[in-house]
Amino acid sequence: MPAGPPSGVARGPAPASAEPLAPALAAALARECVRVYQRYAIEVVEALNLCPWARRARLDGQVRIEVTVELEPAPAAVLDLVEEVFAAPEVDIGLILLPRVAWSRPPFRRFVERVRNEHALRHGAGEHGPPPLVMADFHPDARPDPTSPARMVSFIRRSPDPTIQVVRRATLDQVRGGDSHGTVYDPKALLAPDLLALADARPLHARVAEANLDTIERVGMTAVAALLDDIRADRDRSYARVLGACQAGAGAGAGAGAGAGAGSGAGADRDPE
């Protein structure tokens, strides 16, 4: 059952029609979604070393990206996709991209919490220990807050589309020795000696968050925000081209109910039903 539209600020061109996308259009939109996400991952996260695991995990084939083009995805359907991704034993990190979701950041975070809860129910959390996967929400509406390293995490997670990052709990436990809080890092982060100083008793995620804040301040908040804005603008242009091509061919039966205008703000702050 659809989750219902929690609305908010319209975030640039996105399919506004509730009609399902034609397969060819869905595939084209998914390709552009992955391309734009890879810009964020490579030009921001990897280039600034904001996540120590990111580049090697990608190059080693440990990362799997999937796209769902539903406007109002149901938590159970998203979890089905997550578990399909992690059926491959070589995958440590899964990324679920949701390019048509127009929900603002607070309701999207609550949606991700519903996916977590569904995951816990399926795996008998509480009876058999914690569930095997850990999820984090990424969202384009995040704004910088340099008042503390922890408050900057959401800005670093300013992906071009709403995104759910999923990591195997066993991978986290290998790094953290059982500490399940904070941003996700791969075991290969252990190769960074400055993050592993034995004299520093803080959790790894806290040390990395502080290093990331230092990086943002060194590079310049304005410069990082400009790069994120450029990636977002690329996203808006490319989605408009894809949807515009669909509209142009609709009279000949080439398109199926996809508008190129900005999504309606109505209901964007309402929680998924």
Q: Which two tokens stand for residue 29?
A: 């939109």
CA distance 47 to 171: 23
Lowest mean pLDDT among 111-115, 143-147, 199-203, 234-238: 199-203
CA distance 134 to 119: 9
108-128 average pLDDT score: 89
R_g of the chain computed on alpha carbons: 19
pTM here? 0.78
Alpha carbon distances (Å) from 108 to 5, 104, 136, 151: 10, 6, 11, 18
149-160 average pLDDT score: 90
Q: What is the pLDDT of residues 244-270, one digit of tens each?
A: 876 555 544 443 333 333 333 334 565
- Looking at residue 193, its pLDDT comes to 39
Which pLDDT band holds residue 173 (cuts at 50, 70, 90)?
confident
- Looking at residue 18, its pLDDT comes to 61
Strand-pair partners of 137: 164
In 10 A of CB 5, how many CB atoms? Answer: 23
Q: Which two tokens stand for residue 4?
A: 């219902």
108: left (phi over 0), alpha (psi -120 to 50) or beta: alpha
Which pLDDT band holds residue 124 (cuts at 50, 70, 90)?
confident
CA distance 230 to 214: 22
pLDDT at residue 126 above 70? no
DSSP 141-166: T----TTSHHHHHHHHT--SS-EEEE
- Looking at residue 39, its pLDDT comes to 98
